[in-house]
Amino acid sequence: MDRKYWVPALERADLILTAISRKPGEYKLTDLCEVTAINKSSMFSLLRTMETLNWVKRDEQEAYFLGAGMAYLNTVFNESHKQNYNLVEQFLQESQESVKAIGETFQLSVLDRNEIIYLAKQEGPSLVKLESSPGMRFPAHATAMGKMMLALLPPEELSRRYPDHQLSPVTPHTVTDWTPFTAVLAEIRLCGYAVDHEEIIEGICCAAAPVTDASGKVVAAVSTSMLRHAYLDKQEAAIQEVIRLGKKLSRG
């Protein structure tokens, strides 16, 4: 986008909302200034405006959470995806068979800039429950679903989303160097699936496959996640099942 059309206040609001969404109830005004590099006077005005709009709220300790206004927007977002090929509804139906086949949790997400947004989750029987509720965001480069969708972007679009080629570490296993990362994406394009070996959560591995529209364009991704020791036993079956589910949800 041409920077002459850029609105800095909206960019700062986005930085604030993203920070709060990642650590709800942990940041006060001064903490948000530190993590976003926004000065205190601007932060004060932005937060008060967002409180009035019900985008954020404060608790008794002056820490911030996302407000009901954001929940409404998230609901509308999810509803739009239900209308768009009934993707969420179809996933919730089709993934039941996948959970039975693998015995693990399956998820659906879309790509938003350089993050993934979870749309739906079908819980497996494991006692370990994953923090992947609908509406949650995670860095795309550290997740199997994110890498799957990034791999199918045109090269110029990938560069636009990562103009500085900066990949932040999430765990010690996250690939953060750009050249090895793009090599991983090239391999994903060849094999048709992506994996995440403890890159987003230590001890958890994932396998992901694309969901495409009628033109073959990737519109979402599905994954299955499990403890590392379970993945070592189920790897081949998990990959085949997530590919099957992705094709079942695709429109092509």
Q: Domain spans of the chain?
A: 3-66, 78-249
Per-residue pLDDT of the chain (252 residues), as tens digits, is 456 678 888 889 999 999 998 888 999 999 999 999 999 999 999 999 999 998 999 998 999 999 888 877 777 666 665 545 478 889 999 999 999 999 999 999 999 889 999 999 999 887 666 666 778 889 999 999 999 999 999 999 999 999 999 999 999 999 999 999 999 999 999 999 999 999 999 999 999 999 998 888 999 999 999 999 999 999 999 999 999 999 999 986
Residue 117 pairs with which residues in a beta bridge?
110, 137
> What is the predicted pLDDT for the residue at 146?
97
Farthest-apart Cα atoms in the chain, separation = 55
Helices (H), the chain: 8-22, 29-36, 40-52, 68-83, 87-102, 144-151, 155-161, 178-191, 228-249
Structurally, what CATH architecture does the domain formed by 3-66 represent? Orthogonal Bundle (1.10)
Classified as helix, coil or strand, 205 is: strand
Q: What is the CATH T-level fold of the domain 78-249, as seen in this structure?
A: Beta-Lactamase (3.30.450)
Tokens of 188: 């994903």
